[in-house]
């Protein structure tokens, strides 16, 4: 049986934190809040309902991209598997629900984002430390450098024309 999947829109309650395990793989720890807001028809005001807090984690390239792109307070769309983490501390057993993040990105409902394709190696694996995207939600403005697409990129756009005459296949 597979783990249950969660797909939803939440808000980051803290900046994502990057750490490295002994094998050298990157792990991003992400704290999320999901709540049910509703419009009160009597007052015409939004009211917050129940809140579910979840700690999420992502690995390797996704972890690095999360830390470079997302920040506290951003609304994000996230998908992943729910699981239970267990540990013992001071003789007490503890458990909490956790999310193994498979995909995450800024919600575009109230923000804009500029996406930059990450460089790929010959085997299709992502390499380098370029971010996938730069969200413009609550992160301070950062200087962006113009990047040239790889010469073998079939989806590259001719900047002079704004499009490519050649199909990518």
The closest of 35, 15, 19, 38 to 27, measured between CA atoms, is 19
SS (H, E, C) 100-166: EEEEEEECCCCCCEEECCCCECCCCCECCCCCCEEECCCCCCCCCCCCCCCCCCCCCCECCCCECCC
Classify residue 142: in a domain, yes or no: no
Classify residue 73: in a domain, yes or no: yes
What range does the domain containing 10 cover? 5-135
- C-alpha dihedral (69, 130, 118, 148), degrees to nearest 10: 120
Classify residue 16: in a domain, yes or no: yes
Domain harbouring 104, CATH code? 2.40.50.140
The closest of 98, 70, 71, 69 to 83, measured between CA atoms, is 98
Tally of structural domains, the chain: 1
Q: pTM of the full predicted structure? A: 0.64
pLDDT band at 127 (very low <50, low <70, confident <90, very high): very low
Q: Is the pLDDT of residue 140 over 70?
A: no
Classify residue 88: in a domain, yes or no: yes
Classify residue 122: in a domain, yes or no: yes
pLDDT band at 7 (very low <50, low <70, confident <90, very high): very high
pLDDT at res. 47:
86
Q: Is the pLDDT of residue 128 over 70?
A: no
Region 16-32: mean pLDDT is 94
Classify residue 147: in a domain, yes or no: no
Classify residue 60: in a domain, yes or no: yes
The answer to whether 37 and 114 are in contact (CB under 8 A) is no
pLDDT band at 2 (very low <50, low <70, confident <90, very high): confident
| 28's tokens | 């991003």
Classify residue 108: in a domain, yes or no: yes
pLDDT band at 18 (very low <50, low <70, confident <90, very high): very high
């Amino acid at each position: 049986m597979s783990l249950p999947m969660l797909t939803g829109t939440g808000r980051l309650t803290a900046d994502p934190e990057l750490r490295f395990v002994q094998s050298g793989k990157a792990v991003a720890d992400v704290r999320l809040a999901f709540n049910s807001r509703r419009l009160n028809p009597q007052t015409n005001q939004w009211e917050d309902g129940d809140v579910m807090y979840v700690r999420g984690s992502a690995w390797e390239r996704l972890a690095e991209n999360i830390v470079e792109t997302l920040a506290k307070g951003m609304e994000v769309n996230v998908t992943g598997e729910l699981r239970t983490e267990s540990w013992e501390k001071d003789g007490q057993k503890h458990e909490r629900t956790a999310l193994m993040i498979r995909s995450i990105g800024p919600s575009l409902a109230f923000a804009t984002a500029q996406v930059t394709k990450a460089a790929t190696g010959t085997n299709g694996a992502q390499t380098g430390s370029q971010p996938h995207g730069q969200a413009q939600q609550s992160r301070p403005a950062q200087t962006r450098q113009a990047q040239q697409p790889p010469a073998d990129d079939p989806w590259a756009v001719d900047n002079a024309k704004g499009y490519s005459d050649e199909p990518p296949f």
